[in-house]
Amino acid sequence: MKLSLNASTIKPTPLLDKIRVAGEAGYDGIELWAVELYEHVGRGGEVSDVEKALGDHGLSVPCFIAVRNWGETRDWEYKLALDEARRRFELAARLGSPLMVCTPPMERPGIEGLDQGYRDLIQIGRETGVRAVLEYISFFASLNNVPDTVTVLDRVGEPEACTILDAFHNWNNETTLDDIRDLPLERIAHYHIDDADPHIPSGQQKDPDRVMIGDGAIDLEAELAVLKDKGYDQWLSLELFSQAWWERDALETAKVGLERMEELVAKVGWTRG
């Protein structure tokens, strides 16, 4: 099991400092966001700066975030969305990331047509060497739970079709442990670990309501035990959007998150490596 820090967890920190913090805290990898790479270049930096920082701190990029607008656009706007997606896939490939998160529509309800858009992204993934990963977001109007995600993956009918599990989204839209048990292992490409505010009901939370793992309402040990029983042995990545943790020292936040993950990994019986 390898442990990663999603860059959103220490969001206010500059990009190169995020990479340094992840390395100093002891993570194996860091998930990067395309928008932050664009901002770095826009301020006069180079992608090579990021490559060097990753190498200096011995970090992998297990997953790259994200491509959007592919599920809600049509005609020339859809073509523009795919053009931008290709740029992001190519950037992920340059940084050595094997996975690209593909985010569904926020406001367009339902899942109809998502299979065609996702199929096009899978093809871009084949051409760039980066696997397209279908994401579900618990508070979005479209794809917001594991069972509907399975329906889209089935409609796509491609062997590369897969998803990224997220403890917060599972809890916030009542995805069950049985839903996870029924998901074929080859369809689980990655896992985001986080916790949910214990004072806000499931179904009413948004990204800022995530709390540090171990401080919330989710039975993370039970969910990870299901993954272990299935044979999952890829990455766990800490993904928070917490203002309270953003206001703390970034290295402290990263270290606390890593310690909490290591405790869970040990309880479940995984070995880190």
Determine the average pLDDT of the residues in 178-207. 97
Round to whole Å and give the CA distance between 57 and 79: 38
Is pLDDT at 273 greater than 80 in this prediction?
no
- For residue 192, what are the CA distances in angstroms to 74, 108, 159, 166, 189? 30, 24, 22, 5, 11
Asked whether residue 203 is assigned to any structural domain, the reply reads yes
Residue among 205, 192, 197 at smallest CA distance from 239: 192
Asked whether residue 273 is assigned to any structural domain, the reply reads no
For 10, the 3-state DSSP assignment is helix
Domain of 16 in residue numbering reads as: 2-268
Determine the average pLDDT of the residues in 137-150. 97
How many domains are there within the chain? Answer: 1
User: Is 156 in contact with 122 (CB distance < 8 Å)?
Assistant: yes
Backbone angles phi, psi at 192, to 5 degrees: -95, 130
Determine the average pLDDT of the residues in 177-185. 96
Residue 264 has a pLDDT of: 97
User: Is 95 in contact with 55 (CB distance < 8 Å)?
Assistant: no
Percent of the chain topping pLDDT 70: 100
Residue 146 has a pLDDT of: 96
User: Is 170 in contact with 224 (CB distance < 8 Å)?
Assistant: no
Q: With b meaning 16 or more CB within 10 Å and e meaning fewer, what string describes 202-225?
A: eeebebebbbbbbebbbebeebbb
Determine the average pLDDT of the residues in 37-64. 98
The bridge status of strand 210-211 relative to strand 195-196 is antiparallel
- Residue corresponding to tokens 């794809």: 143
Is pLDDT at 191 greater than 90 in this prediction?
yes
Residue 238 is inside which H or E element, if any? strand 235-238
Is pLDDT at 174 greater than 90 in this prediction?
no
Round to whole Å and give the CA distance between 216 and 197: 5
Question: In the predicted model, what is the mean pLDDT of the chain?
Answer: 97
Residue 40 has a pLDDT of: 98
Alpha carbon 268 to chain centroid, angstroms: 21
Asked whether residue 55 is assigned to any structural domain, the reply reads yes
Percent of the chain topping pLDDT 90: 99
Determine the average pLDDT of the residues in 240-259. 98
- Per-residue pLDDT of 29-50, as tens digits, reads 999 999 999 999 999 999 999 9
Query: What's 139's domain CATH number?
Result: 3.20.20.150
Determine the average pLDDT of the residues in 150-179. 97
Residue among 84, 11, 39 at smallest CA distance from 238: 11
- For residue 161, what are the CA distances in angstroms to 38, 96, 155, 255? 27, 20, 10, 34
For 170, the 3-state DSSP assignment is helix
Asked whether residue 51 is assigned to any structural domain, the reply reads yes
Asked whether residue 35 is assigned to any structural domain, the reply reads yes
- Per-residue pLDDT of 216-249, as tens digits, reads 999 999 999 999 999 999 999 999 999 999 999 9
Is pLDDT at 73 greater than 80 in this prediction?
yes
Is pLDDT at 109 greater than 90 in this prediction?
yes
Determine the average pLDDT of the residues in 122-151. 98
Determine the average pLDDT of the residues in 128-141. 98
